[in-house]
């Protein structure tokens, strides 16, 4: 199976947190945390549709300006999510610039900012370049099970954690994954093409077997209608979707651990901070961070597939292997 989410830590494990998640075949991407994103080329930043900010300590939010700079004038809305006070902070970021000529851009950009409250509501406001980014408030909506985004192909959920300030952790779950047996397509006398993406979406959306899919006949010899049910039973395989989780900047205590385990349960890939070695657990406690051992233990409890450690303290430069080894020992699974 080829996973649809292609995640990459923009700055490696020691740099500012930013996880860029490209979505295969969709020409778009998600970003988890906006640390320094200068290493991302503009064509990638331009693909971003949703940004999820765990909290607004500077190392997680300093990339906001760069992202906005690249996306100004692109004509595609950008949705941002963060913890309490996030909308006000986006507003302050925007008011740090002068927008008297922004209407000269050929197209506008709208920023939709969302903040998660402790009692499960999503507050909302938008900022449009046409109105010089003046804030427009919208009625808050209740969240269903921490769900921030619900699309046919995937959803994104969050949980509120404690970092001596509210800090969000996120999980992105593909609805289901449709594999294609290419050799069996040939048996049906059709070949891959853009139609296949539509057919997969119809399967994910639960369309009935009688739905007619207009496939491309083999050898590019025209169109060939086939019932979706035939395609599904002969050439497609439906498997559970891929799940990623992103957890950083959290204190190690039972309340946080329970919430992380519930959110990240059975995640294929868990990105989790391993900021300190356990020998420095006192520093971790004072700074409301995890040690590599604590992160590994949480990943073990959540039954995740692969642990990707990051947000290493610069004090461990050259000692990356020790942090990984400590996370691995507590986790017992694959540390990437």
List contacts with Zn ion (CB under 5 A): 57, 59, 249
Of 141, 109, 143, 142, nearest to 126 (Cα)?
Answer: 109
Closest to Zn ion by CB, 80 or 168 = 168
Rounded distance, CA 14 to CA 243, Å?
Answer: 24
Closest to Zn ion by CB, 139 or 317 = 317
Closest to Zn ion by CB, 59 or 326 = 59
Closest to Zn ion by CB, 154 or 288 = 288
Of 262, 241, 252, 324, nearest to 282 (Cα)?
Answer: 252
Shortest spacing between CB 249 and Zn ion, in angstroms: 4
Shortest spacing between CB 297 and Zn ion, in angstroms: 20
Shortest spacing between CB 58 and Zn ion, in angstroms: 9
Contact 190, 226 (CB under 8 A): yes
Shortest spacing between CB 198 and Zn ion, in angstroms: 42
Shortest spacing between CB 17 and Zn ion, in angstroms: 6
How far is the CA of 145 from the CAs of 24, 142, 254, 274, in angstroms? 26, 9, 20, 27
Closest to Zn ion by CB, 90 or 168 = 168
* Residues 6+ positions from 102 with CB-CB distance below 8 Å: 72, 129, 132, 133
**Bridge partners (DSSP) listed for residue 51:** 31, 80
């Amino acid at each position: 199976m080829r996973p649809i989410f292609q995640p990459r830590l923009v700055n490696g494990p020691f740099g500012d947190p930013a996880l860029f998640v490209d979505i295969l075949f969709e020409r778009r991407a998600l970003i988890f945390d906006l640390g320094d994103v200068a290493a991302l080329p503009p064509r990638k930043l331009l693909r971003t549709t949703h940004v999820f900010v765990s909290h607004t300590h500077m190392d997680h939010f300093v990339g906001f300006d760069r992202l906005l700079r690249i996306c100004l004038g692109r004509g595609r809305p950008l949705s941002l999510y963060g913890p309490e006070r996030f909308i006000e902070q986006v507003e302050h970021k925007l008011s740090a610039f002068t927008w008297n000529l922004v209407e000269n851009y050929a197209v506008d950009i709208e920023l939709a900012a969302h903040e998660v409250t402790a009692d499960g509501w999503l507050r909302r406001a938008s900022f449009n370049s046409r109105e010089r980014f003046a804030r427009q408030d919208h009625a808050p909506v209740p969240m269903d099970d921490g769900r921030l985004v619900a699309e046919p192909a995937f959803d994104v959920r969050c949980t509120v954690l404690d970092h001596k300030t509210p800090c969000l952790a996120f999980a992105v779950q593909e609805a289901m994954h449709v594999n294609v047996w290419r050799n069996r397509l040939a048996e049906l006398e059709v070949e891959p093409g853009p139609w296949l993406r539509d057919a997969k979406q119809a399967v994910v959306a639960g369309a009935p077997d009688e739905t007619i899919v207009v496939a491309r006949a083999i050898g590019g010899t025209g169109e060939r209608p086939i019932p979706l049910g035939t395609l599904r039973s002969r050439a497609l395989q439906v498997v559970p979707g891929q799940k990623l989780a992103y957890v950083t900047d959290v204190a190690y205590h039972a309340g946080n651990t329970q919430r992380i385990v519930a959110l990240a349960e059975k995640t294929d890939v868990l990105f989790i901070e391993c900021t300190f070695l356990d020998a420095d657990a006192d520093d971790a406690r004072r700074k409301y961070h995890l040690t590599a051992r604590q992160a590994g233990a949480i990943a073990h409890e959540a039954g995740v597939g692969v642990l990707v450690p990051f947000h290493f303290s610069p004090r461990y430069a050259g000692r990356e292997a020790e942090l990984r080894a400590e996370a691995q020992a507590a986790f017992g699974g694959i540390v990437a």
